Every structure is written in C-alpha cells, then in structure tokens.
Structure 1
Amino acid sequence: MEESSMTFSCTEHVENEHQGRASRPSTPEAQRVMRRLTILVLTTVFAAGMASRATGADDDLQRPIADAELDLSDDYDPWQGFNEKMFFFNHDILDHYVLKPVATGWGKVLPDVGKRGLDRAFDNLGMPKRLVNNLLQGRFRGAGRELARFGVNTTVGVVGFLDVARAQLHIEKSDADTGQTLGLYGFGQGPYLVLPTLRPLTVRDGIGYGVDGVLDPFGYVTPFFATLGTSIVKQVNERALNLQVFEDVEESVLDLYSAVRNGYLQRRRRSVEEADAARQAEWHPPSRAVAER
C-alpha cells in the first residue's frame, strides 16, 4: 500500500543568530517561501495519506506485498517499536474511523469515471516534480515526455481529466521523484520510518517528499485553504479508488506491518534500479545491429 504522501520541522529564524539583533522585516520573497513551507507542513499533516496509495493495477500492489510476507528480510528498521505504534494509529484509528468512511461515502456520491478522471487530473499537476527529477537524473527523454504529456493532457485532455497523451499518442508517464534521484546518486535509504498520518517512508524518501512539495509551483500561487482542500480531496479520492484493493491486502497477510514495510522498501529499491536502467538506456542506446536482433 503505497502512496498516499512526511513532514519536517522548519527553523523559525536565521538572521538573528548571525546578526545578534532583532530580525528585520521579511522580504516578500521570504514571506512567499515561508508561506509555501507552512502549506507543505499542514497539507502533509492533515492529508498526506492515512493509508498508502495503490500505484497501479491491483496485482501490481499485491504482488510485492505478498512477496514481502514470504520473505521477511532484515530491512533496516531500528525504530520498529515506535513505527509499530504509529502504524497502529494510522491504520486502526485514522484510516478505520476517518479516511475509509469518508472515502466510502465519496465513492457512492462520485461515479467511478469521475474518480478516475479526478485522479488523472491530480496526477497531471504532479508534472513539475517529475520534470525536474528527470532532468536531475539525466533522463532527458523522460523530461521531454513529461512536457509533452502535460501540454496535451492540459489542453485536449481537459486539464488532465483525460489521459489523451497515453491513449492516443502512447506517451507514458515518467516515474521520477526526489527520493528516487537521491538513491540514484548513491544516498542510502536510511532507517524505515512511520509517522502519524503519513504513508510509509525512509529517511531518504522523507527528505525527498519535502523537496517534492517545494517543487510544486501551484502551491505558491493558490490560496492556503485551496491548497489544503485540494490535498484532502486528492487523498480521499485515492482511497475511494482502492477500497477493495486495501481490503484484499489486509485479508491476505498475517503480519500487515511487516508486509507493508517490506513491500514498500522492495518497491523503492526497484524504483531506483528502474531509474538507473532508464538512464543507462538513454545514455548508451543499443547499436543498430543489436537492436535488430
């Protein structure tokens, strides 16, 4: 069970420590940055996913979970005692009593075609994060695909409700985020971590999640409550789309905490490996003779 989106505390002053006197009035630029960080923190606290999102088809979610339960590895989880308490809080309390009931009601009000269209529209808004990280990874074709998809789906696809780029032009989305980029450049994933209201993560992915939030340009130009409300609707809609998937996974495993942990870590390792393979294929394409074999 994946994404459904890790907060880090922000320092409140810098200039006082350097100058040894009262801080000067904030510039408009500084105010905008602090406003964006505040939006990021509150958005993730209230709406970043009391349960993880399913990333694709049902079997794509359940396969790593099932494999993980059969292969309970020694994945780095030094804070397991704390993590298990947070997992219980997120799953047995917040998801069970808040997110799941709301998502169930949402699913009854909005038809499936509407939920899927809304999910595609939210995904379309995630283009800047994927674009920047494709560029940072040296995956320039992936960056080009992101620009092409955004242009086509925002216009012909009615702000992304329809994935015309994939259905008609066969332009697939490029999976890229800051946590993946850090892993590609050799940063270790660090300890596994579960925090209240948030999806599973590692220290590396937590840092990456925060950076991805700052990379979102739409949060800088939309009102605070509009940004917060949009994030809440996104999480509720994602949960509504995957009600049966979540239930099937919960019924199919004996140790849900370990299955979620190992499935998440396996998926993130695979994500970094796939990014490296995509970069190598772009930098070192096969020769014509090899391609024709």
Structure 2
Amino acid sequence: MDTRWLEGFVVVAEELHFSNAANRLGIAQSPLSQLIRKLEKELGQNLFDRSTRSVELTAAGKALLPEARRILATMSEARELVSAAEGDIVGTVRLGYSGVLNYSTLPLLTKEVQNRLPLVDLELVGQKLTQEALNMLRQGRLDIAMLGLPINDPDVETYMIHREPLCVVLPADHRLAGEEIIDLAELSGEGFVTTPQFAGSLFRDSTFQLCAEAGFVPRISQQVPDPFLALLLVSGGVGVAVTTRSLGELSPPNTVAIPMKQNSVKLRHGIGWMRGFDRVARDSVLEVMRDIFPPDSR
C-alpha cells in the first residue's frame, strides 16, 4: 500500500470535498480521485459515499481514518528519528493558533524556529479556538496548539507563555468613551459581542465572569468565532466587547479600549500538546518555545 494513498485519503476525509483536498495537496483533482480508487480497490471497500452535492465517509472510511493517521504519524516519526541520528532535525510541525492570542508571540517564534531549526517546516494553522484545537490535537491534525489556559484534559500537557489583563472596547462615540476606567456595571444595558459558547474560547467565559462580578448577566448582541472580528463589529456599533489589553491596543478605527474596574480575571495564553509520545521535530520546537518564553518572563 502506497503511503500517498493514505495521505490523499486523510485529506479528503478532513475536507469532505475532492477539489478542496486536491488544492490542499497541490495536485489536480483527477489524480487524487485515482489515488482514492486505488486505495479502495486494495481494501475491497468503498471509503466515501459520493454524490454531485456531497462527499461522506462510509463506515469503512470512518474505521480507517484514525488508523491511517496513526500510520502516517509513525512514518513521519521514523523519518525524524533517522534524520536526528545523523545530527539533523527534520520534519513538519503543525501549530494551531487562534489568530488573536498570538500577535506578539508568533512572529518571534517563527523567526527563532527558522534560525535554530532550518530543516523544520513550521506549518501555521489559523483560526483554531480552544475546543477545535484540542480536537485536532487528539486527531493528530495538530502537533502543538496555542490555547487559553487552564485546560482540564489529562491527555494534554500545557505550558503557559503569557498572562495579561483584560479591557473593554467601546465605539468611539459611546457615552463612556472618554473615561479612564470603566465599571462594567455601567454597561449592564449594552449588548456584548463575543465568541460562541461551543468554541471553548476563554473570551466568552471571561466576559461572563467579569459581568457577574459587576452584578449582571451580559446580553449577547452577536457571536463571532474571531475575537478581532468582534472588535470590527464594535466599531460598527453592534455592541461592546471584552478583550485582552494587547488586542485592545490593536483595536480598529472608531473604537476605544479602556481598562475595567473589574480586574480579577487575567487571560492566560499557553501551548498544549499530546502526552505519551515523543516526536523529535515537535519536541525541538517546544524547546525553542520554552527558551524564548521562560517561566520568569510571565
């Protein structure tokens, strides 16, 4: 069995769309379809139910997917170990991030990995909030994830890289826009823009916790998966938003970021990875991260 068949199968299974999968693999759709047909012939089972409108995994495909990921991961680990034995650290490390917690950390990390690990390809996978990132770690689709902490998962090891206070972002023409500090109780009648509950983002949890300290339950005017998009909606007058101080400093035009009287909550930024197995390239990137974000700097 050719490992290219398994690679093609896994990508199609993740995309459930042959054209998108082909683009992701950098090949034409026809050769990809041929790879899948060869794999199905080898196994004697249809792996996908195909129609003009959708692609779905069959029961056989669902059974194969975790095993295919395991085989590909084992092959990747073997290549890394062989290279490490020759003194080279080689491999691809997939790093998931939210697109908001990491504006200051990712540029430094990417530069240091390029300098220290020139044969390691650091693949940045964006817009992955906490819950989705955890799922992708378990599935082997990510090697490391940038997460909001704490994470209550015995299979995931974490390391905190930064901690920062929160602020509230208002439209520039808001009645409180000129204040130096705001008591959230003054915003009890406002609509709040935040991330969805299912996303597992600490932004929403922090918003509710701080509003509870101020004596009210926030009314949610809009939910969006990207916290920076939430600030764009604030600039359009959709509501107000709680965010980190660093992101507040990057707020779009027509908004102001103001500290809050309620300051007991600080957002903890960290990284997570699966316990229980070693990977040369991944662990080398983790070593770089611990070096550039040491415990005494947090």
Structure 2-normalised TM-score? 0.26
Q: By percentage of residues, which structure has more helix?
A: 1
Structure with greater contact order relative to length (CA < 8 Å, sep ≥ 6): 1
Task: Please identify the structure whose Cα radius of gyration is greater.
Answer: 2
Structure 1-normalised TM-score? 0.26
Q: By percentage of residues, which structure has more strand?
A: 2
